[in-house]
Amino acid sequence: MPDGLERAAREYLAHLAVERGLSANTVAAYRRDLARYLAYLAACGNHAVGEVSPRDVAAYVDAVRTGSDGGAVLSASSTARSVAAVRGWHRFCAAEGMSGTDPAVDVRPPAQGRRLPKAISTDEVARIIEAAGAGEGPAPVRDQALLELVYSTGARISEAVSLDVDDLDLGTGAVRLLGKGGKERVVPVGSFARRALDAYLVRGRPTFAAAGRGTPAVFLNTRGARLSRQSAWAVLRTAAERGGVSHPERISPHTLRHSFATHLLAGGADVRVVQELLGHASVTTTQIYTLVTPDTLREVYTASHPRALG
């Protein structure tokens, strides 16, 4: 890897982590995408950022879609993510004077089909949460509180496990969530989640906390430390299997977040309210939940058209 390219990449990744405050996972994803791009540039004979042309960038986009660079063939969504990393890097290099122009400014990722987020029914949500709370000891009390909270607030799993006790206000029924880019939002907590959290804070958390060193985290593991994202994922997967929902292997923490949004909109909530609750920067991101499914079309048609049934 030419020193000029590698140095420019390091500076950009440091900028993302320090100045823009992106999460470690996001920075790691950018690092992977840039590593493939820089390897491609080096193979094409580019040794500095200023040598890259718009044709080079466009050719790279074609390469990741076909795998002609020797790497994995990327889907449209993965290509879009990779192009975002490339465009951001070139924009940064131009702004910092490492290159005279931005060769990626006119490069666009391939169009993506808009897919409906995966959601499950309210009955399946209830079965998962009930299954999480089955059993004796503090763990089921914790697990049920965790899943109730995620579904009640639409929190990302990273937001839920990052909660500290001071972020909860069960008296007024609210929780302070720290979202992407360090943006805070205050979200209402429903009565089911409030009861589950209160039970956990009284009957579950003290048992876990006794094994630790006084961490302020809401959700603790058996060592008294903050529950990890991986452990929270395992809690949901186990509960989905025990709850007997269809295709439990497809259930993820994001499934509850998607279901939260879908069920709110189905109940008549305004899309901009759901946008605020989810912490989306743009309402366009939230509007994907308003797409009508074929089943909904059929149900509305059957119920509404005077000659649909005969």
Per-residue pLDDT of the chain (310 residues; tens, 9 = 90+): 557 899 999 999 999 999 888 888 889 999 999 999 999 999 999 888 999 999 999 999 999 988 898 888 888 878 888 999 999 999 999 999 999 899 999 988 776 655 656 789 999 999 999 999 999 999 999 999 999 999 999 999 999 999 999 999 999 999 999 887 778 899 999 999 999 999 999 999 999 999 999 999 999 999 999 999 999 999 999 999 999 998 888 898 888 988 998 898 888 888 888 888 888 877 766 776 766 556 666 776 777 777 676 5
Query: Which of the following is catalytic: 87, 156, 226, 263?
Result: 156
Orientation of helix 76-95 relative to helix 54-66, angle to 10°: 160
Is 289 labeled as catalytic in the residue annotation?
A: yes
Is 118 labeled as catalytic in the residue annotation?
A: no
Q: How far apart are CA 169 and CA 23, in angstroms?
A: 26
Q: Which CATH superfamily is domain 122-295 in?
A: Intergrase catalytic core (1.10.443.10)
- Give residue-wise pLDDT tens across range 124-176: 999 999 999 999 999 999 999 999 999 999 999 999 999 999 999 999 999 99
Q: Which sign, positive or negative, has the C-alpha torsion 250, 253, 259, 261?
A: negative
Query: Which of the following is catalytic: 176, 180, 237, 242?
Result: 180
Domain residue spans of the chain: 3-95, 122-295
Is 32 labeled as catalytic in the residue annotation?
A: no
Query: Which of the following is catalytic: 127, 257, 258, 263?
Result: 257
Architecture in CATH for domain 3-95 = Orthogonal Bundle (1.10)
Whole-angstrom CA distances from 234 to 97, 220, 251, 301 are 47, 14, 10, 41
Write down the pTM of the prediction.
Answer: 0.62
Degrees to nearest 5, angle at CA 219 with 223 and 289: 140
- Give residue-wise pLDDT tens across range 1-21: 557 899 999 999 999 999 888
Phi, psi of 277 (to 5 degrees): -65, -40
- Of the candidates 218, 228, 264, which has an alpha carbon nearest to the alpha carbon of residue 125? 264
- Of the candidates 37, 33, 46, which has an alpha carbon nearest to the alpha carbon of residue 4? 46
* Residues whose CB is less than 8 angstroms from the CB of residue 218 and which lie 6 or more positions away in sequence, other chains included: 163, 164, 165, 167, 168, 197, 201, 205
Is 195 labeled as catalytic in the residue annotation?
A: no
Is 183 labeled as catalytic in the residue annotation?
A: no
Query: Which of the following is catalytic: 90, 194, 258, 280?
Result: 280
Is 280 labeled as catalytic in the residue annotation?
A: yes
Query: Which of the following is catalytic: 185, 195, 229, 254?
Result: 254
Per 3-state DSSP, the chain is made up of helix, strand and coil in percentages (nearest 5) of 60, 5, 35
Degrees to nearest 5, angle at CA 64 with 50 and 104: 30
